[in-house]
Amino acid sequence: MLTSNIHIETNHTLRKCELIENISRSQLAEKSRIIILKRDIVRQCASYVVRHDFVHITTAWQWYLHPSYQKRLINPKLFSRFEGIGLALWYCYAMSARQAYYKLYFNSKVKFIEAQLEHITTPSGAQKFWQAIGQSGQCSLPPRENENTVQAPIDLIDNLTKIISKFQLDPNIIAEQAFEDGF
């Protein structure tokens, strides 16, 4: 049986409608648990590239974040030299920084729970996550239903791994600086 807490994942679509801001100001704040779902950045970016998620501006504006959006934590120009993968890579870093910022900014009002996708999709990781969100007993993983069946090419994974190894962008430091600057 689930507890009466409200669990919300920090995806950008929910942040666009200021869900966390509104919950933090409401009587739901005490019962809410914001889940910061993280993912291996190479795999995450490769998935966006393979699905062509950043090819059309309408998709980026509707579901993600576009670099022309004024309230951004990371300058997209850092990623423009990477052509086709640049927007996806920028988005991965930008969302990481936003997750860190939201935790820093709203930590006194709502509870945050961090989870790594690659861990919570295993039986032991799912059980730990189940307990972290306040549940008791055994959890069971449902079968995967929306997993992308198109595999990222090895050269794309290798290229992303090389690029990411050269970046020294710490989302927590970026969030702290933005917070101090009054973002």
Q: Is residue 96 part of a domain?
A: yes
- Walk along the chain (183 residues) and give the pLDDT tens digit of each residue: 445 778 888 776 666 667 888 899 999 999 999 999 999 999 999 999 999 988 888 887 778 888 888 888 999 999 989 988 999 999 999 999 999 999 999 999 999 999 999 999 999 999 999 999 989 999 988 888 877 778 899 999 999 999 999 888 899 999 999 999 998
Do the Cβ atoms of 55 and 27 come closer than 8 Å? no
Q: Which of 113, 154, 118 is nearest to 133 (CA)?
A: 113
Q: Is residue 67 part of a domain?
A: yes
Q: Is residue 163 part of a domain?
A: yes
Q: Is residue 18 part of a domain?
A: yes
CA 97 and chain centroid, separation: 9
Query: Domain span at residue 102?
Result: 6-180
Q: Is residue 155 part of a domain?
A: yes
Q: Is residue 1 part of a domain?
A: no
Number of domains in the chain: 1
The 3-state secondary structure of 104-156 reads: HHHCCCCEEEEEEHHHHCCHHHHHHHHHHCCCCCCCCCCCCCCCCCCCCCHHH
How far apart are alpha carbons 141 and 123 in whole angstroms?
7
